[in-house]
Amino acid sequence: MGVLLAPSLLAADHARFGEQAQAALATGEHWLHVDVMDGRFVPNLTFGAEVVRALKPLCPEAVFDVHLMVVEPERYIEPFVAAGAHAITVHQEATPHLQRTLAAIREAGCLAGVALNPATPPETLRYVLGDLDLVLVMTVNPGFGGQAFLPSAARKVGELAQLRTEAGASFKISVDGSVNVKTAAGLARDGADVLVAGSAIFNHPEGVAAGVAALREVLGP
Ligand SMILES: O=C(CO)[C@H](O)[C@H](O)COP(=O)(O)O
């Protein structure tokens, strides 16, 4: 299977979420990345489960990929499942009970993901590899869109691909932060399965479809 693109609603016009989400899906992409920030784990606030609930009927074909940048992420699994999330990713750094949290996400019927801040090594996941459906490599410090790409963090993509092979695991590797026409192809070559892109899609001067097309062009067939 080719690389999946996950347009990140953080960069969409917040007054036109429905329209912008539909424009992203009209390009043929299926994933929508939903960045949830609490002002504690990260120094910014965004939105909660109601955004997923509101978008669901407008975007019935969407895979809602929820990225919880919050402390105590366990508290938010149930509301996001009830709202219609398909994948829920928590930060490795945000919970002392990672295995329990991942198991709870799977039990609720969602794909279970872990996000790694730029300074967090992939080895911290060694004992939960069997509990994981998705590892989200942050190539910026979480909290804001439009930041500069951190090549040191991107090195983890290849390391995770190797760890996955060695362990016989099957999680997807997703990358989030400054994914654009300069960085996307290299990340895919290194082993990324999902590329989360905010600014490159929603801030493209010619619109959302042009942003997706530009990324698809560099990624190739
Ligand atoms: O999780 C995020 C920030 O915490 C965003 O998804 C990420 O930064 C994407 O934005 P951009 O593509 O503009 O860098």
Q: Quick one: which of 147, 114, 117, 142 has its CA closest to 129?
A: 114
Q: Are 130 and 107 in contact (CB under 8 A)?
A: no
Q: Are 177 and 147 in contact (CB under 8 A)?
A: yes
| Residues forming the active site | 35, 176
For helices 17-25 and 208-219, the axis angle rounded to 10 degrees is: 30
CA distance 135 to 160: 9
Is 146 annotated to bind a ligand? Reply is yes
178-218 pLDDT, tens per residue? Answer: 999 999 999 999 999 999 999 999 999 999 999 999 999 99
Domain 4-219 grouped into CATH 3.90.600.10: no
List of residues 6+ apart from 174 with CB closer than 8 A: 6, 65, 89, 113, 134, 135, 136, 137, 192, 193, 194, 195, 196
Ligand 1 atom at shortest distance from the alpha carbon of 140: 8
Using 50 as the pLDDT threshold, list the residues of the chain that sit under it: none
The answer to whether the pTM exceeds 0.90 is: yes
Whole-number Å distance, alpha carbon 102 to ligand 1 midpoint, is 23
CA distance 113 to 18: 25
Q: Is 197 in the pocket of ligand 1 (CB under 6 A)?
A: yes
Beta bridge partners of 176: 138, 196
Q: On the CB side of 54, how many CA atoms lie within 13 Å of its CA?
A: 12
At residue 221, the pLDDT reads: 85
First to last CA, the chain: 11
CA distance 104 to 128: 13
Domains of the chain by residue range: 4-219
ipTM: 0.96
Ligand 1 atom at shortest distance from the alpha carbon of 69: 4
At residue 1, the pLDDT reads: 58
Q: Is 20 in the pocket of ligand 1 (CB under 6 A)?
A: no
